[in-house]
Amino acid sequence: MRISRLPLDGQLAAVTSVLQTNRALMHVLEGARSMDLPGWYVAAGAIAQTVWNSVTGRHPEYGIKDYDLIYFDPVDLSWEAEDEVIRKGRKIFGALPVEIRNQARVHLWYEDRFGTPCPPYDSTEAGIDSFPCATCHLGVRLTPIDTWQVYAPRGLSDVFDLVLRPNPVLAPREVYDAKVTRWARDWPELTAFPWPGIGT
């Protein structure tokens, strides 16, 4: 039976079992837990890619360029406050490529980088919901008692089935297309749905 056809509790057990095979990811999760950031998750690409590696029989860390650690702190939106968290993370994670971002600040720089305005998020989950690839709407964290919390608003079927779907709510098409092109080089088994309106 395909994992994506398991009941939801079975899928959750499967995904946490797979993620535990990635030693670098587990180090990031444990380090992030020690930082005790508000609303934190390790999110997006590294989570999906660890699953893709399991499904395709590759090493758990294959193809993973970085680990996204996101959190939500609306109290201080200054770059200095976020940079303090980033510097703290560098001491914890060492040479591991961990990208740390306060989702409460995204609206301050998003338009300059991507050319489209971004309304302020009201939670870390809102940030995940806006990622350009819906398959990567994933966030995981470890609680102080070693239980897993998984945020997967679109479920887990696509990630186990190696399916990429666009999410056109915010990011421009070019961002999704660039991700698809890059990921397809490392995981040619992926099937990508086109941006809405293309070919129709």
Amino acid at 151: Y
State how many domains the chain has. Answer: 1
Residue with tokens 């030693």: 23
- Say if strands 41-43 and 67-71 run parallel, antiparallel, or are unpaired: antiparallel
First to last CA, the chain: 34
Arithmetic mean of pLDDT, 151-166: 95
The pair of three-digit structure tokens given for residue 108, joined into one six-digit string:
């301050």
pTM here is 0.94
In a domain, 78, yes or no: yes
pLDDT of residue 200 exceeding 50: no
Helix or strand run (H / E) with residue 150: strand 148-151
In a domain, 163, yes or no: yes
In a domain, 198, yes or no: no
Nearest CA to 85 out of 97, 68, 102 is that of: 102
* 163-173 pLDDT tens trace: 999 999 999 99
In a domain, 90, yes or no: yes
Residue with tokens 């009941």: 7
pLDDT of residue 6 exceeding 90: no
Q: How confident is the model at residue 9 (pLDDT cuts 50, 70, 90)?
A: confident
Q: Give the domain range for residue 9.
A: 3-192
pLDDT of residue 4 exceeding 70: no
* 78-122 pLDDT tens trace: 999 999 999 999 999 999 999 999 999 999 999 999 999 999 999
Q: How confident is the model at residue 1 (pLDDT cuts 50, 70, 90)?
A: very low
Q: Write down the mean pLDDT value for the chain.
A: 94
* 10-38 pLDDT tens trace: 888 899 999 999 999 999 999 999 999 99
- At residue 5, the pLDDT reads 73
In a domain, 181, yes or no: yes
In a domain, 131, yes or no: yes
In a domain, 174, yes or no: yes
